[in-house]
Amino acid sequence: MADPELVRYTLDNGLRVVLAPDATAPVVGVSVHYDVGFRSEPEGRTGFAHLFEHLMFQGSESLEKLAHFRHVQSSGGTFNGSTHPDYTDYFEVLPSAALERALFLEADRMRAPKLTAENLANQIDVVKEEIRLNVLNRPYGGFPWITLPPVLYSTFPNAHNGYGGFEDLESATVDDCAAFFDTYYSPANAVLTVAGDFEVGNAKKLIEDHFGDVPHRPAPRRPSFAEPLPTSELHGEVEDPHAPLPALGIGYRMPDPINDVDGYLAYLVLAGVLTDGDGSRLQQRLVHREPLVVDIGAGAGLFGPFEARDPDTFTITLIHPHEVPRERVLAALDDELEKLAETPPSEEELRKVTARWTASLHSEHDRLVSRTLALGSFELLYGDASLVYKLADRMSAVTAEAVSAAAKALRPDARAVLVVKPASEGTNEQ
């Protein structure tokens, strides 16, 4: 698919707009990204950003609860929202004739969501049940995105549980919600994206009609979440009563994903060289030749690449049999990283990784919802939605020497090692 024409501009109230027309199918995607994620939530309010995402679906001053759902679904559309380290997004995908309906719904809740004690209590219960389902009662739940950051990082924004603790969730008040909305949910702190089958002039008029009168509030000052790099190997341990086998989560700091895109991409290629496919370095050695583990993965970002500002995390996760000592697993991992640091990967290895990643990227962006959300998040984080369409070429330009340098930076004396123990092992066994 050819890169779509992008139209970018800003309304008088500060709302940034990205338009990506594409008439290949009679559907349209609409998303709003707010520059607030769980790294922005205050101490004592873990999980608040995600809880607030839920509240944004509970009606507004002009629409009753469930009206948003009904309006989208009756148009044949889909919708959702999600909370990330540094942003929260909301989206609809509908037939192109329903564009105005989606714009009205997003502008309506940007203007005045229904923040009531009843809605808050209801959504606290919903979020708690989500945590029970996805974390507390699932093998390896929260591994590694909840359990690894407290080992690697020392500051509250970077280390805390973005899903939230039950006590913090239960102590949230309507006043907390109102303050959070007033601070972060202003048009000047958001990006509106429209992609798909529409006419640019008509879309601009509809956007002005529905969003133009949303009152301006200044965007909050965005703090830096930077903290010093580790100067030694950091250790942590958790017990997982549902895990059938022990696991290791290894966390390393990465280059700044915003200001050093090419350095960041080298780590993304490194992840592929290490674990992407049966022919990858760690799959070959740790799964097939020795074997030491039953499952292994490596990746840039706790949620995936390009989801956060600095600092971001390179992760390696390994699940191994009880009889295999974790020290042996770590030694084999370090040996493979050292080999890569000393001898760059072959051109064939790089081509396999970049070809597979590029194909995956194009396939993902063929889906309108994925394309809409990517354009919005890149406009918000990078100030340039068009970077989405340059990533494949920039990744293909990553050199073997850059990948080797990334491997060399993954040192044992500057990482976090999280041990996940099945309940049968106990927490004191070495």
Tell me the C-alpha distance between 267 and 378, whole Å. 19
**Dist. CA 21–CA 25, nearest whole Å:** 11
Instruction: Express each pLDDT in 391-416 by its tens digit.
Output: 999 999 999 999 999 999 999 999 99
Q: Which residues contact 175 (CB under 8 A, 6 or more apart)?
A: none
Average pLDDT, the chain: 95
pLDDT of residue 61: 86
- The whole-number pLDDT of residue 53 equals 97
pTM metric for this prediction: 0.95
Distance CA 245, CA 422 (A): 6
Predicted pLDDT of residue 429 = 40
Q: What is the pLDDT of residue 384?
A: 96
Q: How many percent of the chain have pLDDT more than 70?
A: 98
Report the distance separating Cα 255 and Cα 266, nearest Å: 9
pLDDT level of residue 181 (50, 70, 90 thresholds): very high
d(CA 194, CA 221): 26
**E strand or H helix that includes residue 49:** helix 48-55
Distances (CA, A) of 302 to 80, 313, 370: 21, 6, 19
Per-residue pLDDT tens over the stretch 29-76? 999 999 999 999 999 999 999 999 999 999 998 999 889 999 999 999
Sort 144 into a burial class: Cβ within 10 Å, 0-12 / 13-18 / 19+: buried
Tell me which amino acid residue 200 is. V
Q: What is the pLDDT of residue 4?
A: 62
Apex 90 CA angle, 84 and 93, nearest 5: 130
Q: 385, 378 in Cβ contact below 8 A? A: yes
| DSSP label of 414 | G
427 pLDDT above the threshold of 50 = no
What integer pLDDT is reported at residue 3 of this predicted model? 55
pLDDT digits (tens, 9 = 90+) for 326-341: 999 999 999 999 999 9
Region 80-105 average pLDDT? 97
- What is the average pLDDT across 333-360? 95
Could you give the domains of the chain? 7-211 (3.30.830.10), 234-344+399-425 (3.30.830.10)
Judge whether residue 123 has pLDDT over 90. Answer: yes
Kindly tell me if the per-residue pLDDT of 426 is higher than 60. Answer: no
**Mean pLDDT along residues 244-262:** 97
Q: What is the mean pLDDT of residues 113-140?
A: 97
* 3-state secondary structure (DSSP) of residue 20: strand
Average pLDDT over residues 247-259: 97
Q: Is the pLDDT of residue 5 over 90?
A: no
Segment 257-275 mean pLDDT: 97
- The pLDDT score that the predictor gives to residue 107 is 97
* H or E, element range at 300: strand 295-300
